[in-house]
Amino acid sequence: MENTSILVLGAGELGMPVIRNLVAKSKHLPNVKITVLLRLSTINSTDIEKKRNIDELKALKVELLAGDLTSPSSVLIQIFKAFDAVVSCTGYGNGAGGFQLKLTRAVLDAGVKRYFPWQFGVDFEIIGRGSAQDLFDEQLDVRQLLRSQKATKWVIISTGLFTSYLFEPFFGVLNLETKTINALGSWDTSVTVTTPEDIGKLTAEIFFNEPIIEDCIVYIGGDTLTYRQLADIVETLSGEKFKREIITIDQLDNDLKIDPNNFVKKYQHIFGNGAGVSWGLDQTFNFHKRIDTMSAKQWAGLNINWKQLPLGLTD
């Protein structure tokens, strides 16, 4: 792939791994130039983490372009016009209200040849419209818009959940303090997870794949497991018994009625239903390309200090 100018939107939890891997894959390709669009305040930030990322981007010889995605569409179109491809790593931080549609329209109006939208996540079409997570309806609108045209080639990468989220207290599945594991929906409900590092690696592989991948949805995955399997993993790594509880669909329904705007409750409802949140690893790009990815057990073994869990077993 020659004469390719790539613009990455964002350099956060997913953006940085994507950029690292695009740079690594393009090292021996002629005329590939990678730019990242960041707010000027981010580029000049004295925040330790942001400054570390900026220093790394400079070391990677990635060009830093100051810009704000909340700018009018006319401004974004002028920015995007200079690039052959746009890879969006914006996340949902900007909320709903048409942000993803605005970006997509600007990309199309700018005549960008290839677009990887922010669709890193679940299978929105199986979940369908009107789900507990209203952000997903706009993701379906983006897909409809992309399919309605032929000028800009697009690739959507379905990744499942970030692996770490299964183990984060905010998600409500695992509580290391109380040694409790909550199954969303049932113990046999499954979820596909992938680490940001693997998403970055596989995004670069998909981007530079020959023959070129275009106008399709590509599934990837680090692991697909049930909540029962997750509980077994936790008990194996910790060497302790955890209290196992089920948060039923009825409970999840009731939680949303009580607090309909709760972002986490919306996600718990989606994952508790089980539709569109998992797929067999044998269906994935990485499986067919024989690319190694990190399993949930591997991630937990590397990132959680199981020897320093609070003392005492649950009743």
158 three-class SS: strand
Same domain, 10 and 115: yes
Mean pLDDT on 163-172: 95
Residues sharing a CB contact under 8 Å with residue 139, sequence separation 6 or more, in sequence order: 100, 119, 121, 124
Q: How far apart are CA 224 and CA 190, in angstroms?
A: 7
Q: Which residues of 190-199 are buried (b: 16+ CB within 10 A; e: fewer)?
A: bbbbbbbbbb
Q: What is the pLDDT of residues 6-32, one digit of tens each?
A: 999 999 999 999 999 999 999 988 899
Sign of the C-alpha dihedral computed for residues 26, 37, 51 and 161 taken in this order: negative
Same domain, 22 and 129: yes
Same domain, 174 and 59: no
pLDDT at 315: 36
Q: Looking at the domain assignment, is residue 313 inside a domain? A: no
User: CB–CB of 118/89 below 8 Å?
Assistant: yes
Average model confidence (pLDDT) for the chain?
94
Which one has a higher pLDDT value, 208 or 314?
Answer: 208
Residues sharing a CB contact under 8 Å with residue 157, sequence separation 6 or more, in sequence order: 116, 119, 120, 199, 202, 203, 206, 217, 218, 220
User: CB–CB of 197/205 below 8 Å?
Assistant: no
256: domain CATH number is: 3.90.25.10
Q: Looking at the domain assignment, is residue 288 inside a domain? A: no
Residues sharing a CB contact under 8 Å with residue 40, sequence separation 6 or more, in sequence order: 66, 68
Q: Looking at the domain assignment, is residue 183 inside a domain? A: yes
Tell me which residue has tokens 């746009």: 86
Same domain, 85 and 134: yes
Same domain, 93 and 153: yes
Domain interval for residue 148: 5-159+194-219
Same domain, 103 and 185: no
Q: Looking at the domain assignment, is residue 122 inside a domain? A: yes
Q: Looking at the domain assignment, is residue 153 inside a domain? A: yes
Same domain, 227 and 215: no
Same domain, 69 and 214: yes
Residues sharing a CB contact under 8 Å with residue 314, sequence separation 6 or more, in sequence order: 178, 179, 180, 241, 242, 243
Q: What is the pLDDT of residues 114-126, one digit of tens each?
A: 999 999 999 999 9
Q: How far is CA 281 from CA 55, 248, 295, in A?
A: 36, 26, 11
Q: What is the pLDDT of residues 251-307, one digit of tens each?
A: 999 999 999 999 899 999 999 999 999 999 999 999 999 999 999 999 999 999 998
Q: Sorting pLDDT into bands at 50, 70 and 90, what band is 313?
A: very low
Q: 176: part of which helix (H) or strand (E)?
A: none
The number of distinct structural domains making up the chain is 2
Same domain, 28 and 144: yes
Same domain, 267 and 210: no
Same domain, 40 and 102: yes
Same domain, 152 and 167: no
213: domain CATH number is: 3.40.50.720
Residues sharing a CB contact under 8 Å with residue 290, sequence separation 6 or more, in sequence order: none
